[in-house]
Every structure is written in structure tokens, then in C-alpha cells.
Amino acid sequence: MKVLITGGAGYIGSVMAPTFLEQGHDVTILDRFPAGLDNALAACCAYEGFNPIKGDCRDERTLDEQVSKHDVVIPLAALVGAPICKQDPIGAVSTNLESIQAIIKRASKNQILMYPTTNSGYGVGEKDVYCTEETPLRPISLYGTTKVDAEKAVLDSGIGLTFRLATVFGMAPKMRIDLLVNDFTYRAFRDRAVLIFEGHFRRNYIHIRDVVGAFNHGLENYDKMRGQAYNVGLSSANLTKLQLCAKIQEHVPEFVFVEAPVGEDPDKRDYLVSNEKLEATGWAPQWDLDRGIKELLRGYRMLSTNKYGNV
């Protein structure tokens, strides 16, 4: 199939693009390729079906040229996370929401649209109650709001399906260390210590290769799954921050973590997530936290500086 991925040189795209190429799909990447992303897809150039386009997902002329040429559209381009959206609210709205609306406007009923949203839309969940796809969405940041609004537009279009991603972790050609598992593992590797604020806050997690696997599963089962949202996370990893640190400590025994008696985490997300709906379609993750932490520790031996964030 012919696949268009916007923002495909980023963290998820740098794993997704080579995976789809290996499977025989033609892959077009629309990305600005700024400094730091300009070689994330270098290995993809070996495939004749790889087509990188330097441009902006908000450029309507580029969308006019590209959207209709492809069987599958996957809009990964986004300002990801509450801090960067707070830093650039205009860019957050135009990239996370308006560019999705522009793609939908140009897409036909014969195309496949798969959109990554976030389970941060659940905001603060009820104590010991799992958030399902039927749980009301209550985003508590501009990031969450733009992604939830974009998800609604995709589902209302009648041609899309959405994946509500848990907090992603794992190594990638375009690395991000600022994500929670990646960050805490890096601190364990480098500093052997971390100070935790509000350690009882609970999150769900998912390895980046299982995210790509979910999209591939959606592609293969699109007719059955279209028009619906699916949580994508590890059912074995609904963990508090303190529990996550304890898991990392199993692999780095010298790691010390302490919960601060005062102070707050600006990210107030706290929820349990059920992934049963996606699992019932036949999808299953291949990477648990232990395997992912081991992978990260191998990868961090190669990284000389913590420059791999998005803020």
C-alpha cells in the first residue's frame, strides 16, 4: 500500500517508517526535518519505495498534492506533551488539531486514516476504576484538549480509527529521553538517583514497537476496527511512579529513588487504563517493561548527552 506519514521523522515515525518499508509498503514521509531529525530515517533511503518530502503538515498546497495519492494516511505530526504545547499554544492548535482537520477535508471514503491520540485525555481518573474507551474524556492540558478534539474529528469523518496511546517508551533512531520510563531509566543509569513528586500518580505504558504493531494490526483489520477508538497500553503496567522506579531498580540495584515531602508535579494525570478492547481484536504486546528497560540500558551506553527531548 501507499502510506503517507506526517511527522514521520519523529520518535514513533523513526520506528514505523522502516517497519512498513520492510513489509513492502511504499512510504512517504512529510516532515520539516529540522536539525536533529535530518538523519533519523537515513536507513530508509535504501528502499526504493521511500519518499521523503521536506515540508509542513499545515501547508495546504502540500496536502492537496499528497493526501489523495495514498491509500493510508497516518498523521503523527504533533507538538507532543503538555510542556511544549504550553510553550507554543498557537503551534499546538495548528499542528495537533487544524492540520488533522485539513487532512480529513482532503481524504476520500476509500482511504484509511489511522490517528494516534493519547490516553492523557482521561485526565484524572476515579480511584481504582479502569478507564475504558467509553469513559468520558477530561483532558487537563492544551495538549490533551487538542488531541481529543482531533480524535473526535477523525471518528466523525467515518473513515478513521484512533489509538489512545499510553506513555511510550523504548529506543528509537530519533530518541526521546523526556518520556517517563525513558527518563527514569536514564536517571538510574546516569545519576543512580531521582527525586519523585507525587509518586502515587498512576500511568499506563507501552513500548514504541508495540505502538507500531498496533498500527499494523489496525491496517490489517481496518474494516472491523474503523470508526472506533482503542486504548493501546500494557495491561501489566498500570503503575504508580514509585512502582515504576522499583521496577527499574530491579535492573539497576544501585538506583535510589525518594519521594519529595513537598512540591507538586505540574502534570496531574492519574488514571488506570483498560486495554481489553484492542486485545479482544487479536492484538497483543510483545514488549513488557523488563524487556524495554534492558533495551534502554543498552542504548544509554551509546548516548553521551541528554539532548533527546522535545522542549
Q: Where are the CATH 3.90.25.10 domain residues in the chain?
A: 180-202+236-300
Only one residue has cell 489509538, namely: 163
Domain covering 2-168+205-232 in this structure, CATH number: 3.40.50.720
Q: CA 9 to CA 288: how far, in whole Å?
A: 25
Task: Determine the average pLDDT of the residues in 199-216.
Answer: 96
Summarize pLDDT for 66-78 with one digit per residue, the tens.
Answer: 999 999 999 999 9
234 confidence band (pLDDT: 50, 70, 90): very high
Task: Determine the average pLDDT of the residues in 41-68.
Answer: 97
Q: Specify the pLDDT at position 179.
A: 94
For the chain, percent of residues with pLDDT exceeding 90: 84
Q: Specify the pLDDT at position 307.
A: 64
Give the homologous superfamily in CATH for domain 180-202+236-300.
UDP-galactose 4-epimerase, domain 1 (3.90.25.10)
Q: Specify the pLDDT at position 121.
A: 84
Summarize pLDDT for 91-149 with one digit per residue, the tens.
Answer: 999 999 999 999 999 999 999 999 999 888 888 778 889 999 999 998 988 999 999 99
**What mean pLDDT value characterizes the chain?**
94
Q: CA 21 to CA 33: how far, in whole Å?
A: 19
**Beta strand segments in 166-207, E:** 167-169, 193-196, 202-207
Cα–Cα distances (Å) from 83 to 7, 166, 291, 310, in that order, read: 19, 17, 28, 9
Summarize pLDDT for 26-37 with one digit per residue, the tens.
Answer: 999 999 999 877
306 confidence band (pLDDT: 50, 70, 90): low
In this structure, are residues 120 and 114 in contact, taking their beta carbons and an 8 Å threshold? no
Q: Where are the CATH 3.40.50.720 domain residues in the chain?
A: 2-168+205-232
In this structure, are residues 3 and 30 in contact, taking their beta carbons and an 8 Å threshold? no
Side chain identity, residue 122: Y
Within a 10 A sphere around the Cβ of 290, how many other Cβ atoms? 13
3-class SS string, 216-268: HHHHHCHHHHCCCEEEECCCCCEEEHHHHHHHHHCCCCCCEEEECCCCCCCCC
**Of 17-21, 69-73, 270-274, minimum mean pLDDT range:** 270-274
